[in-house]
């Protein structure tokens, strides 16, 4: 029995790392056939470990059904590779979810150690890449440097782009904070204690986020800062952020400037300006704007979609660009996908996880591996929080019964 559980644990770790890391020399920079092959095996692993139909199975099945109905309605745009790839992610997630929630393959310490090792792995890889860049190796595939990013010593670490690494590392650190909250209790989670226990992890994380050359990293740091923000400090922090914002033009940092320009252009709601300011940011911001300004609820196609790759075949400035595959599969599928994420991955609606989902993931799920890696991290974090809260209620009831008797 112990051997079987250990085998399941290794499977869960393998799939989590697989979704959080992309090594370009083996996997390429687009669709990874290694990931796809592993995901095709995932349903058989799930069947071999089946115990009952989980929440993930129920909501993922509904989501798949709605997508299939949309595809049938827009059959002229059908492409098996796209639909099959999306379904493979969902099936893989169901398998992982069930291993975590029903087979209980992770202990709290296992997950904490895995989070720390991933952060350190990202940091070490980035440091090696930065050394290579300093030595003049602007493109060196064996180190996962696929192209010259022209961002000083900024690089992509264990992902394809620095912005992907920034998202993954933000979530890794948030999950680590959450797990220490479970382990120590919220009141005992002090920065000094956290630093003492995780000195190199924290220093490596901060170095990576500050030097990887991604404006997204600073958004991630801002979100994580909110974790430690207390009500009495809101005004002080607000003034500090304003001061920092005004000082950015005098700081010779490309990432700071890119983040500032992207923020200012977003406030204008001018899509051409957003694209001009930061093309990468435009790919996330413009669809969000379009969703609120161009969505016509009176049209049937809004609800059932216009067909596969409607988003992909349109320009970033096109009104077709909307979040969560709404243009492709319709608003109904998007609503179901949100329920799926909230039920399976995010513990509270008003949380930093939700903020990350909106700001860093574009408020939707898609056929991108690192997004599913983040959802897997969220759902594992949620599992331990739910377990912790259940134990607290149980202990409280015991205490009440003792007092009563």
Asked which of 202-206, 239-243, 245-249, 361-365 is least confident by mean pLDDT, the reply is 245-249
**Residue 356: pLDDT band by 50, 70, 90 thresholds?**
very high
Among candidates 288, 29, 258, which has minimal Cα distance to 154?
258
Sign for the CA dihedral angle at 287, 323, 162, 22 comes to negative
Residue 354 · residue 73 · CB < 8 Å: no
pLDDT per position as a tens digit, 56-107: 999 999 999 999 999 999 988 888 888 899 999 999 999 999 999 999 999 9
pLDDT of residue 2: 60
Q: SS3 of 190, please? A: coil
> Taking 60 as the threshold, does the pLDDT of residue 230 lie above it?
yes
Section 270-295 average pLDDT: 66
Residue 224: phi, psi to the nearest 5? -65, -30
pLDDT above 90: residue 215: no
Band (326; pLDDT cuts 50, 70, 90): confident
The total number of residues shown for the chain amounts to: 405
Which residues in 230-267 are b (16+ Cβ under 10 Å) and which e? eeeeeeeeeeeeeeeeeeeeeeebebbebbbbbbebbe
Average the pLDDT over 265-269 and give the result: 54
State yes or no: pLDDT of 116 exceeds 60: yes
Q: In the prediction, which pLDDT does 77 show?
A: 82
Distance CA 58, CA 89 (A): 15
Q: Tell me if the pTM is above 0.95.
A: no
Q: What is the pLDDT of residue 257?
A: 62
């Amino acid at each position: 029995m112990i051997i079987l559980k250990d085998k399941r644990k290794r499977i869960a770790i393998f799939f989590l790392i697989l979704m959080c890391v992309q090594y370009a020399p083996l996997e390429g920079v687009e669709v990874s056939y290694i990931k796809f092959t592993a995901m095709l095996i995932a349903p058989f692993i799930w069947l071999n470990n089946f115990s009952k139909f989980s929440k993930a199975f129920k909501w993922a099945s509904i989501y798949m059904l709605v997508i299939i109905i949309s595809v049938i309605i827009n059959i002229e745009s059908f492409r098996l590779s796209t639909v099959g790839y999306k379904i493979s992610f969902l099936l893989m997630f169901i398998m992982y979810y069930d291993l975590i929630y029903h087979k209980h393959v992770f202990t709290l310490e296992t997950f904490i150690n895995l989070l720390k090792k991933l952060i350190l792995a990202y940091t070490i890889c980035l440091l090696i890449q930065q050394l290579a860049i300093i030595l003049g190796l602007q493109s060196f595939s064996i180190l996962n440097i696929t192209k010259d990013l022209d961002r000083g010593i900024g690089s992509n670490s264990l992902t394809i782009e620095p912005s992907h690494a920034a998202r993954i590392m933000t979530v890794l650190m948030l999950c680590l904070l959450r797990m220490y909250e479970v382990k120590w209790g919220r009141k005992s989670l002090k920065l000094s204690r956290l630093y003492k226990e995780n000195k190199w992890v924290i220093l490596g994380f901060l170095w990576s986020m500050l030097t990887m050359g991604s404006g997204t990293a600073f958004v991630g740091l801002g979100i994580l800062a909110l974790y430690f923000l207390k009500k009495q400090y809101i005004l002080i922090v607000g003034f500090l952020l304003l001061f920092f914002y005004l000082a950015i033009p005098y700081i010779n940092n490309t990432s700071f400037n890119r983040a500032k320009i992207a923020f200012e252009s977003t406030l204008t709601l001018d899509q051409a300006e957003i694209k001009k300011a930061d093309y990468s940011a435009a790919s996330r911001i413009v669809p969000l704007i379009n969703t609120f300004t161009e969505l016509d609820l009176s049209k049937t196609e809004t609800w059932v979609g216009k067909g596969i790759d409607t988003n992909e075949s349109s320009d970033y400035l096109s009104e077709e660009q909307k979040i969560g595959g709404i243009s492709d599969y319709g608003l109904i599928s998007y609503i179901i996908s949100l329920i799926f994420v909230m039920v399976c991955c995010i513990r509270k609606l008003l949380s930093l996880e939700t903020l990350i989902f909106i700001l860093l993931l574009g408020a939707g799920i898609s056929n991108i591996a690192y997004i599913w890696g983040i959802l897997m991290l969220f759902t594992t974090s949620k599992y331990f929080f739910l377990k912790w809260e259940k134990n607290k209620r149980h202990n409280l009831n015991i205490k009440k019964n003792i007092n009563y008797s």
